[in-house]
Chain A
Amino acid sequence: ETGVTQTPRHLVMGMTNKKSLKCEQHLGHNAMYWYKQSAKKPLELMFVYNFKEQTENNSVPSRFSPECPNSSHLFLHLHTLQPEDSALYLCASSPAGTANYEQYFGPGTRLTVT
């Protein structure tokens, strides 16, 4: 596997379910990100991790819980979601500690909350 991978690619869940999204990067980066892309809206940054430490939480509801066990893996744990949480969830990574603004994205997980 190369680049940034995300699983699952599609997920349908009820409002009472608990599920997790997984992201893995094979680029040797130390910063990882979760974004949400809703229909007709810009990509919204949710969380940022630098060297496994969470450095940003952009006012995301607690029903979204990130986890970064190491620099290569990032999870987004989901519980008691709302239908308005249906969106494309994108993971990205970048080299940390350098003047490199470029982020590399995974293909995304299309989430539908019923």
Chain B
Amino acid sequence: DQQVKQNSPSLSVQEGRISILNCDYTNSMFDYFLWYKKYPAEGPTFLISISSIKDKNEDGRFTVFLNKSAKHLSLHIVPSQPGDSAVYFCAASIAYSGAGSYQLTFGKGTKLSVIP
């Protein structure tokens, strides 16, 4: 059973417009959420994150919104640029008390194509 779902496998957006990528989760224990970007032949790279105590986090052109009651988060990219064309993964984690690592649960990804 997938705990993190990205229901849109692909998205095409015109350059300069807004890109909105969506992610839903089912596990109410998740309390930290991340977005990763992946180019072909490269590993995923961290983009932006949000803690469950916030509903919005902004970093330049990228903003992540979290709606805990709906168990939904979204990534907004404004304005979209051709270099943003990549696969975007949503990931979620549960707080881990004590010294250790944090397990991430990933969605399947959404392929964003920004058309010049």
Binding site for B on A (CB under 8 A): 4, 6, 31, 33, 40-43, 45, 48, 50, 55-56, 90, 92, 94, 96-97, 100-108
Chain B interfacial positions (CB closer than 8 Å to A): 2, 4, 32, 34, 36, 41-46, 49, 89, 93, 99-109
How distant is A54 from chain B, measured CB to nearest CB, in Å? 11
In the complex, the answer to whether A56 meets B103 with C-beta atoms within 8 Å is: yes
Residues of chain A lying within 8 A (CB to CB) of residue B89: 42-43
Between A and B, 16 residue pairs with Cβ closer than 8 Å are A4-B43, A50-B100, A55-B100, A56-B101, A94-B102, A96-B100, A96-B101, A100-B102, A101-B34, A101-B93, A104-B46, A105-B36, A105-B43, A105-B45, A106-B43, A108-B43
Residues of A within 8 A of B100 (CB): 31, 50, 55, 96-97
Look across to chain A and name the residue whose beta carbon is closest to the beta carbon of B108.
A42
Determine if A55 and B101 form an interchain contact, defined as CB atoms under 8 angstroms apart.
Answer: yes
Contacts of B104 in A (CB 8 A): 43, 45, 101, 103
Contact A31 B43 (CB under 8 A): no
A92 to B104, CA, bound (A): 11
